[in-house]
Amino acid sequence: MKFAIKFIWKKLTVLTFTACICTIFAAGTKAVNVNAAEDIETVNYLGMRIEDNVAAELPKAEKEDTAEQTVKSADSAVQLPESINETTIINIEEKNNISNASNEFNTKNDSNVKNETDTIKEVVKKKLRPEYQIMVNRVANCVTVYEKDADGAFTVPVRAFVCSCGREGHETPLGTFKTSSYYKWRLMVDGTYGHYAVRFNQGIMFHSIPYYTPNEGDLEWDQFNLLGQPASLGCVRLACADAKWIYDNCKAGTKVIVYDDAENPGPLGKPEEIKVAAENPMHKWDPTDISAKNPWNALRPSLYLTNDIGDGVLYLPVGATPEIIRTAVGMKDALGLPYGVNDYKILFYGNFDLNTAGIYQVSVRGIGVHGVRVEQEMTVCVVG
């Protein structure tokens, strides 16, 4: 099949559906050692510094990781929206003798596409950051983030995070809340520190796995291995990169719903996270932390577009098959060498529809052979 790319922008429509595209491959382990400290800084949502020196504030420990709250728990579990079944999940299976699908849709030599580059970037820039709603499945220890559908209801799941809610005796309260204060580092009631903390219910927050000190290389690594299980004193713990995503993308006032559903973790499923071994010299760093100082970067892979025409846009035809998608996004190891098809895993998260022409922002997560992940926002142009 041949695809000719021709843009008629006035007729290009963007609908809001969701696709989570998962390609499952293999994983492993390795080690390097580095350590570094970072200054404590408290910031608000807009990234403005509240105090240059918050050392005086830190001893006033909030009851972040504690269930000693006067908040009432909901009498019954909060139900997910009924329209959640509109979510499309495409599983890309490993296949033998994959055809060279990229030949069916090769944009490298298409001058028409190249000429539209600036227009695509302008469209993306004009797109406002969407509003989100965060659903925390307490019993499943899974967080799902939703965007609005065409009717303005939060029914479109766009992100999923594995988490650790409150353990027995310190259960995270059920109910509906809103995010308020945002902290780059926050002192916890037990003397540890949370990175990228976002308050949503008095002393209850989203935050990273605890650190012994406000230092990226001083992680309570054994607690990282408990992600997916109840482990906190009431807060919702996340991998560092996931806590940062909420910190960066969910504005103050974002609705948070904590509910229980043992049957279904969420429409995008419950992600898994790498386990850190005690003998690994990097074990005091969160593997997902994107800090330039993180020694895990020595193993972190990178994503690339196999048919990149120089604009960084991922072009796909309407109705793109799994084979076309697989050949459109590749992965390289930390040395820049391409991975084989059996050596990595790729997941696409976002609010997009491969069956409808349009321009979409998609988050692409790749996991290499060492289990270390990389995440990249990509502009996807679906054309017919």
Q: Write down the pLDDT at residue 24.
A: 35
Among 116-125, 329-338, 341-350, 374-383, the minimum mean pLDDT is found in: 116-125
Give the pLDDT band of residue 5 (cuts 50, 70, 90): very low
Which amino acid appears at position 48 of this protein?
Answer: M
Spatial separation of the C-alpha atoms in residues 181 and 194, rounded to whole Å: 13
pLDDT tens column, 170-185:
999 999 999 999 999 9
Q: Which two tokens stand for residue 46?
A: 């807009």
**Contacts (Cβ under 8 Å, ≥6 apart) of 316:** 105, 324, 325, 328, 354, 380, 381, 382, 383
CA dihedral 66, 68, 74, 80 (to 10 degrees): -10
Per the prediction, the chain carries an average pLDDT of: 75
Q: Write down the pLDDT at residue 296.
A: 97
In the chain, what is the straight-line distance between the N-terminal and C-terminal CA atoms, in Å?
12
Of residues 302, 305, 282, 314, the one with CA closest to residue 373 = 302
Return the higher-pLDDT residue of 92 and 129: 129
Q: What whole-number percentage of the chain has pLDDT above 90? A: 57
Q: Write down the pLDDT at residue 376.
A: 92
Q: Write down the pLDDT at residue 43.
A: 34
Return the higher-pLDDT residue of 3 and 281: 281
Q: Write down the pLDDT at residue 20.
A: 41
pLDDT tens column, 81-94:
333 232 322 333 33
Phi first, then psi: give them for residue 350, nearest 5 degrees: 160, 180
**Contacts (Cβ under 8 Å, ≥6 apart) of 254:** 131, 132, 133, 134, 178, 179, 200
Q: Residue 84: helix, strand or coil by DSSP?
A: helix
Q: Write down the pLDDT at residue 120.
A: 59
Q: Is the pLDDT of residue 75 over 60?
A: no
Q: Write down the pLDDT at residue 128.
A: 59
Q: Residue 106: helix, strand or coil by DSSP?
A: coil
Q: Which two tokens stand for residue 169?
A: 């005796």
Q: Residue 302: helix, strand or coil by DSSP?
A: strand
Give the pLDDT band of residue 123 (cuts 50, 70, 90): low
Q: Is the pLDDT of residue 242 over 90?
A: yes
Neighbours of 39 (CB within 10 A): 11
Return the higher-pLDDT residue of 188 and 98: 188
Q: Is the pLDDT of residue 51 over 90?
A: no
**Contacts (Cβ under 8 Å, ≥6 apart) of 215:** 35, 36, 37, 38
Q: Is the pLDDT of residue 66 over 70?
A: no
Of residues 36, 38, 37, 30, the one with CA closest to residue 300 = 30
Spatial separation of the C-alpha atoms in residues 234 and 252, rounded to whole Å: 20
Q: Considering only the C-alpha atoms of the chain, give the largest distance between any 2 of them, rounded to a whole number of Å.
A: 66
Q: Write down the pLDDT at residue 383.
A: 93
* DSSP category for residue 178: E
Q: Is the pLDDT of residue 368 over 70?
A: yes
Phi first, then psi: give them for residue 298, nearest 5 degrees: -65, -15
Q: Write down the pLDDT at residue 325.
A: 80
**Contacts (Cβ under 8 Å, ≥6 apart) of 179:** 134, 198, 199, 200, 206, 246, 250, 251, 252, 253, 254, 256
Residue 161 and residue 272 in contact, taking contact as beta carbons nearer than 8 Å: no
Question: What stretch of H or E contains 205?
Answer: strand 204-208
pLDDT tens column, 150-160:
999 999 999 99
| Beta-sheet strand order (sheet of 204-208) | 175-178, 255-259, 133-137, 142-148, 154-164, 236-238, 204-208, 193-201, 182-187
Return the higher-pLDDT residue of 222 and 33: 222
Q: Write down the pLDDT at residue 49.
A: 30
pLDDT tens column, 276-305:
999 999 999 999 999 999 999 999 999 999
